[in-house]
Amino acid sequence: MELRRVLVLVVMAALWGGLPSAQQASSPPEPESTGTWFEGARLIDGSGDAPVERSAFLVEDGVLAWVGSQGEREPPAGAARVDLTGKTVIPALIDAHQHIGLTNVRDGTHSRDNYTRANLVEHLERAAYHGVAATMSLGLEADEALAFELRGEHVPNGARFLTSGRGIAATPTAGPQQEYRLGIPRGAQSEAEGRAAVAELDGHGVELVKIWVDDRAGTVPKLRPEVYRAIIDEAHARGMRVTSHLGSTSGLADAKDLLRAGVDGFAHTVRDRDIDAEYMDLVREHPDVWTVPNLPGSPVTLDDLPWLAETLPPFEIESLRARAERLAAEGPGTSFELQCRNLARNREAEMIIGMGTDSGVSVGWTTHTELRDMAGCGLSPMEVIVAATRVNADILGLDDLGTVAPGRSASFVVLDANPLEAIEHTRRIADVYLAGERVDRDALRARFMNGARLQ
């Protein structure tokens, strides 16, 4: 009798469990999405994989919530929809080597007096206008406190500002070449001074230390090997990394010794002579070391002038026109050709290759001429795009940028043409989105061209 009662209860429970409860029947529908659904574009996601020819992706709260192929799923109810048919999407670019803030683009002056919040912000806006999501300023902060204050701050319509603070040279005058930059770096002529400089930078939250190993053709003291070894050792002990400027007279020899000393990266490629087999073997022994080539001159062609005229004052366009005419008549020069060969040999040695412009006098737009130069030196358009996106994100520790993938920042560039067909198409920008927000390029262009000097 007891067993029968248990069986009845089990059957009744099963029947009741199979029927919807009143609470289940009245459950509210799924809430409508407040995100934006983009569809139809060719997607080059920054990974190096083949493009998705007709993509779709969902942006919610500034983040990529889903990325896939068009038709793979339906857009959420209520999501805004953006048709990108015929366009190409790439990740927003990252510049791993700049020196912003010292040049006033509007009047062409170069001075520490230009290093103001307003000018820094304008430089970040110029970078964003050209599709750059983040830029690393390496070592020349005329007002280091201001740089650290702006670091990580959200700048509407602007790129993210990263900084290594004031870098380290043998003396404050031994790093930069231009007079207005002299005196900015920290000086270190002993191991103790080198370690103290690293400790100071660590106290400011700096993660990447910039050093100059260059005697400027014998005109200034050079950071000595025992000092840069102490700097590298101290930085690594503190969880920091070191990137080195290489000189133009002893670059290959210094690069070899820096590799043996444990340097993490180079802010240039070798610039004094052709890379040899010994250097390539050292690169292979240190597979985590990177180079950011900074090919010399960022050659400008006459075809560049129309798109540059969107943001640059007339006097600058005329200066660039003269430069373009010289390039057409004389070619890029032996220094460019040497560094092209060395970039190709770094690639052959499987060195990590990022992208940086080493610019400051020219702001934002040189990203695209650097991409073109890298492709002209033998890298494929896909390799160049990956260098300027995923690889740079890895170099700079930016885990939310670099690829168009779920969970990453919705920072991407919409292009009117396919850069895999011609890398010059990266400058054919239809729209830029940073953290899901569309950059108002029309408003920026109007402000850039108003001619007023920033205060």
CB within 8 A of 277, min separation 6: which ones? none
Structure tokens at 336: 């460019």
Name the pLDDT band for 249 (thresholds 50, 70, 90): confident
CA 234, 235, 236 angle in degrees (round to 5)?
A: 95
CB within 8 A of 5, min separation 6: which ones? none
Query: In the predicted model, is pLDDT for residue 220 greater than 80?
Result: yes
Instruction: Give the residue, 129 or 328, on which the prediction is more confident.
Output: 129
3-state SS, residue 418: coil
Q: What is the pLDDT of residues 330-389, one digit of tens each?
A: 888 888 999 999 999 999 999 999 999 998 778 889 999 999 999 999 999 999 999 999
In this predicted structure, what is the pLDDT of residue 250? 82
Q: What is the pLDDT of residues 44-64, one digit of tens each?
A: 999 999 999 999 999 999 999
C-alpha 7/C-alpha 54 separation (Å) is 57
In this predicted structure, what is the pLDDT of residue 42? 98
In this predicted structure, what is the pLDDT of residue 74? 94
Query: In the predicted model, is pLDDT for residue 297 greater than 70?
Result: no
Tell me if 111 sits within 8 A of 140, measured CB to CB: no
C-alpha 144/C-alpha 11 separation (Å) is 76
In percent, how much of the chain has pLDDT > 90?
Answer: 78
